[in-house]
Structures are given as C-alpha cells and as structure tokens.
Chains A and B, each alone.
Chain A
Amino acid sequence: MRRDFSTPAMPSPEAEIVVGDPTAPASQSPAVATARTVEIVVYVLLLALALVLGFDNWRSGAGWAKDGPQSGYLPFYLCIILAGASLFGLGLAVVKRSEEAKTFVNRDQLRRVLQVFVPTFLFCVLMQWLGIYAASFLLIAGFMRFVGRIAWWKSLLTAFLFTLVMFVTFDIAFDVIMPKGPIEALFGR
C-alpha cells in the first residue's frame, strides 16, 4: 500500500481530514522473526499436515476399486501434491540467502497484533459462559478504553449501543440463535 502524505498544495485547512495514531508501531523496531524463518516453519507444518492427512486417507483406502476411486483416493494424492509443493517451497526458503531476508514482523507490530488477538481470544472464551452479547460489550468497551485510550464514557456508550443493536437485530428481529448467558436469562430471553 502506497502512503504518501507529502502534500504540497492543500486547498484549505478545513477541507482536510486528519486522524492520528499515537501508538503506531515504529518501523525501526527490532525484528522478532524474519520472513524466511516463518516461511520455513509454515512449510514444515504443511508438510506434517500432508503426512498426517495422507496417512489417514491411505488407511481409509486410497486404491482404485472396480467402479472408480475409493474414498481416500483423491485426498491421498492431494496430500502428495501438498507435500511436494511444501518440500519445494522449503527447499527454496532454505537456499535463499539470509542477507536479503525481510522482516516478517517487528516487535512493535507483534505487540499491536497481540493487542487484538489476545482480547479476541478472551472474547471467544468468555462467550461460552457469559453469552455473546455480554462478552461483546466487554470486548468493545475494554478494547476502546485500554487499547484505543478512548474516554470511558465514549467506550461504554459505544459498546452498549452496538451490543444493543446486535441484540435487537439478531435476537429480536431475525431470530438467530446465539450463545446466551446469565444476563439474558435475567430478562427472560
């Protein structure tokens, strides 16, 4: 994505939209992993997957019966193709000289990615006990407050309104079944 903000001629200052990002990851932050390392890991995992699935398909019958292939036939050969392509990629990644290796993710970037991933994970865990609506209220309010550093009242209000809209849309208007917890039970829904 090309982002060039060197704007010489602005028509007028009020016709401009500016959004800041105070916690932006610094580009010179130390690398956590190089693209090459991650690529090697990905290919090894894919290779392992191909072996496991291939074995399972071979066990369920990868032969050719009288009336055509057995159920494991196509997946078995797909596993072989997957293993072959992964090996090829692995070979390329290993041979590639490490000087030209790009950074896969630097420390600041990883921090930001985890800032979304960890709350999302907790949200999925909480969803099972609290129901999806209560969990999403907590996720949105918490995320806005602690990650976005947005004022408490804005965070709580936004989270409440969004959750309410979701509840009305899915539970009341469209009757979509969602995991619910003790709070919905209080209201008898």
Chain B
Amino acid sequence: MEAVQLLLQGFAVLLTWKILTMMLIGLVLGIFVGVLPGLGGPNGVAILLPLTFTMDPTTAIVMLSCIYWGALFGGAITSILFNIPGEAWSVATTFDGYPMAQQGKAAEALTAAFTSSFIGSLVAVLLITFLAPRIASFALKFGPPEFFAVYLLTFCSFVGLGREAKHKTVISMVLGLLLAAVGMDTVSGQLRMTFGFDPLLRGVNFLVAVIGLFGISEILLTMEERLALRGHAAAISLRVVLKVWKEMPRYWVTLLRSSAIGCWLGITPGGAIAASFMGYNLAKRFSKDPGSFGKGRIEGVFAPETAAHASGTAALLPMLALGIPGSGTAAILLGGLMVWGLNPGPLLFVEHKDFVWGLIASMYLGNVVGLVIVLTTVPIFAAVLRVPFAAVAPMIVVSCAIGAYAIQNAMFDVWLMLLFGVVGYVFKKVGIPLAPFTLALVLGNRSEDAFRLSMIGAGGDLRVFWSNGLVGSITTLAIILLFWPLIGRIAEGARRMVRPART
C-alpha cells in the first residue's frame, strides 16, 4: 500500500504549527464566505487567493482548500436556517432542511447536513488517495497529442453535456480561449491581439478575470435582490449530534448512492449542482415513502449534501492527476498552482510529492476539523447574517481590488477586474454560463501548446490525433460528446420512426 505510506508522509508535512494555524484560519474564513450572502466557494477562494501569494505552495494550497471546505459547510447553514441556498448546489438541501428547521428540528437538520457532507467528502478523498496516483502515473506516458485529446474531451463534454443553451456555452468557452491567447505567443514569440497596448503584453490574467467575474459581479447581483432575511437561530447540542449519528447507519444505502453519484459527476464536468439534485431525486424514488420528502425528512438532507460534497471534492481528482479542473473552484485552485510556480498535471505526483500528499492529507484533516468547528459554532456563524450587507459589500470590493492588484502589481488589472465584473453581471443575467469561460481561460494556453507541439511533432498532420488506440479513442469520444444532444435527438427520432411501424 504505497498510497497509505505516502499519505502518512503527507500528514507529517501538515503537522506543523504554521500549517495547522493556516488551516484553521482558512476553515473559519471559508465558513464566513459560505454563510455571507453573495459569496460562495469559487468567489471566496478567488478573493482570498492573494493572501496566499507570499506563503510557500503547500501552506497556500492547504489554506485555500480549507477555505473551500469551509464554504461548502457554510452553504448548508443558510439553506437550512434561512431557506436561502448560498450556492446552487445547496438548493436541494433546502427542500427538506428548511421544513425541518420550521418544525424546530434545525439542530438535527444541520447535524445531518454537516455529517453527510463530511461522509461525501471522505468517500471522494479516499477515491482521490487511491485513484489519482494511478491516473497520474498512467498519464505520465502521455505526449502532446494525448494531452490535447484530453483537453478537447473536457471542452467538448462541457458543450455537449451542459444544460445551458449550446450557443451560449460555446460563446463562453471560445471567449475564454481567445482571451487566453492574448499577449505573447509562446511558440513563435509573436504578439497576438494586443493592438499595440502595452499592459496587454502579459495577457489577460486568469485570476483577475475570476475575481471580477465571480467577486464583483456577485456583489452587483446580490444588491439587485431584496436583502431582507428571516430565519431560525439554532445551536447544536451533543445530545442531538449523537442522536442523528445513531440514526444515520439506517440510511447507509442513500449515503453510499449519493457518494457514488457525487464522485462520478465531480470527476466528469457534470458538477455538484447536478449531483445534489440527482442524489435527492434518487433517494426519493427509491424511498418506501416518497410522499414524506419535502416535508422535513432527514434523508432528504443526507442525500443532496452527501452528493454535493462528494462531487465538490472529487472535482479535485482530475485537477491533481491530469491538470484539468472538474469545477469552477478547482479551476481557481489550478490558477493558484500556476502562480506558485507549480505545473499542474501528472508530473506533480513525481516532482512535488510533499505538496500533493500534503494537500490530500489536508483534505482528511480539513474535513474532520471543519466538521467539529461547524458543529460547535453554528450560532456564531448564523449571527453573521445579522451584519448588514451595506457593511459587507464594500469590504468585499476592497478585498477584490487588493487581490487583483497583488497578482501583478498593476493598476491595469484593477480596471480589468471592474470590466469583468460588469461582463459577469450581464452574462449571468443573459444566461451565458461562466464556468466554461473560466475553464477555457485556465486551460487555453496549455491546450494550444499541446496542439501545436503535436502538430510540430507530426509535421502538420492532423491524423496524429488518431495515431494510436489511446489518443484515437479519446479524440473520438470527445467528438461524440460534442454532438451528444444531436445524436440523442437522432436516436429519439429513429425510435419514434420504428415504434409506430411495430404497433
């Protein structure tokens, strides 16, 4: 069991006062971010990323991933107590969580949510521990064509499997790829799309775009809404925790099913949102008493929370093993890796063992510590919602500006952030998804390099993408996924043509 040994080494890396303190700070900040209206996982990580620039990479990623776990935990608090899902993937948690709170069972619902998130994350982390190194060592044999095929697969599956209108996903993705290409061309050294404007020489920084798109635009969107809240205060006692934990083994099928759904959808770009709904719906369908769902059934909290967190965690697997983020937040963490001078991808497991296993170990530790923190301090965090948004909003704006400036010490980036804030606001309201844009912007240069290196290697022959079984099947799968909706429609049409003939 090599993985176990490496994991223990990872724990050894973690157990210093400095890292443990940063973990704790990260978790608390994360829960804050998750509870505050208008902020969530990706926004929180993006805004707080600059804090970590001066740290060493291991401390930095541990702190950032703890912010992420914290935000995941925090999202459940507002969903259950206030019926306000902090994130889209907490929507399904409100279905049964809020009715439970109304019946005076808020503590039970919160305990159920926190514990099941913990279980979901744990399953996903176990998967990462044992699967990621294998995938990475397999991917070490990849050359540029294989990598390009994998990137293509990621892009195509986003377009083909995404739920948004296809042309909007395409626009978002192509825009991200184009912006990634601005600046110096890495292969030929030629300048592209700079129009003689000096600040553009360095290109559009990924993190600046993300801070604008997720931070600033989210503030604008939140201000638009009615900010009044009304909800329940709750404290969790040890008695309630033990009671819920005693009840939990009864729902092992739901927990297992939701974890599996979450892991699967997290690794593929289906995402936590789809996972939480699927977890909830399947639990309802297989239940003996589906009518009781939506009226405060504890299983209705277990199912979506487990799935959402398994998915949110599993999204880090492709990021670590292949350098391909499975979610928006993973994309931002990936951007962070590049800032610290690490090259995400399979080589990470060879060249930066301490870093990778430290991160994986921190997922275990962060989730345990996070669970303890949220269980004991819920009343404090629920009270955070009493802070008026008029005080929170300018602080977030300041944090965003500090973040955007700190990346390259450039005032231009602050203006760019503001521009992306407006773009993000308009895009979200028009229904152009931001996740493909983020993904494309972070992967743009790497996929173009992979494409051009394989072209140089093959003398400009496109058949290189079908030159062996592996790369050929990935490329073919990518193209099938791209046209998946079309294929589905044709199959449906064919079935309809056949059926009337039979009957």
Contact residue among B91, B175, B224 (Cβ-Cβ distance under 8 Å from A113): B224
Q: Are the C-beta atoms of A88 and B167 separated by less than 8 Å?
A: yes
Q: Does B390 contact A (CB under 8 A)?
A: yes
A21 touching B102 in the complex, CB below 8 Å, given contacts A42-B426, A75-B178, A85-B170: no
Q: Are the C-beta atoms of B230 and A179 separated by less than 8 Å?
A: no
Among B110-118, B182-190, B344-352, the one that faces the other chain is: B182-190
Among B316-324, B335-343, B400-408, the one that faces the other chain is: B400-408
Contact residue among B85, B386, B401, B422 (Cβ-Cβ distance under 8 Å from A124): B401
A111 smallest CB distance to B (angstroms): 10
Q: Are the C-beta atoms of B401 and A17 separated by less than 8 Å?
A: no
In the assembled complex, the Cα of A16 lies from the Cα of B219 at a distance in Å of: 26
Query: Contact flags (1/0) for A1-32 with B, using CB distance below 8 Å?
Result: 11111011111001111111100110000000
A7 touching B102 in the complex, CB below 8 Å, given contacts A56-B193, A60-B192: yes
Q: Are the C-beta atoms of A19 and B192 separated by less than 8 Å?
A: no
Q: Does A160 contact B (CB under 8 A)?
A: no
Q: Are the C-beta atoms of B175 and A105 separated by less than 8 Å?
A: no
Q: Does A119 contact B (CB under 8 A)?
A: yes
Q: Are the C-beta atoms of A15 and B234 separated by less than 8 Å?
A: yes
Contact residue among B167, B195, B231, B425 (Cβ-Cβ distance under 8 Å from A16): B231
In the assembled complex, the Cα of A178 lies from the Cα of B231 at a distance in Å of: 40
Q: Does B394 contact A (CB under 8 A)?
A: yes
Query: Contact flags (1/0) for A165-177 with B, using CB distance below 8 Å?
Result: 0100110001111
Q: Are the C-beta atoms of B460 and A82 separated by less than 8 Å?
A: no
Q: Are the C-beta atoms of B177 and A78 separated by less than 8 Å?
A: yes
Contact count band on A = 35 or more
Q: Are the C-beta atoms of A116 and B459 separated by less than 8 Å?
A: no
Q: Taking CB as reference atom, which chain A residue is nearest B426?
A: A42
Q: Taking CB as reference atom, which chain A residue is nearest B219?
A: A116
| Residues of B contacting A169 in the complex (Cβ-Cβ under 8 angstroms) | 51
Q: Are the C-beta atoms of B188 and A19 separated by less than 8 Å?
A: no
Q: Does B283 contact A (CB under 8 A)?
A: no
Q: Are the C-beta atoms of B390 and A123 separated by less than 8 Å?
A: no
Q: Are the C-beta atoms of A78 and B81 separated by less than 8 Å?
A: no
Q: Taking CB as reference atom, which chain A residue is nearest B395?
A: A162
30 of the cross-chain contacts (CB-CB < 8 Å) are: A2-B85, A3-B226, A11-B104, A15-B232, A15-B233, A17-B385, A18-B229, A19-B227, A19-B386, A20-B228, A46-B175, A60-B191, A66-B460, A67-B456, A70-B188, A74-B181, A74-B452, A75-B181, A75-B192, A78-B174, A82-B174, A104-B429, A132-B398, A136-B398, A136-B401, A148-B389, A169-B51, A176-B50, A177-B406, A178-B405
| Known contacts A60-B191, A61-B190, A116-B223; 16 further A-B pairs (Cβ under 8 A) | A7-B230, A16-B230, A17-B231, A17-B385, A19-B229, A38-B430, A56-B192, A74-B448, A78-B181, A120-B397, A124-B401, A124-B414, A132-B398, A139-B394, A178-B405, A179-B405
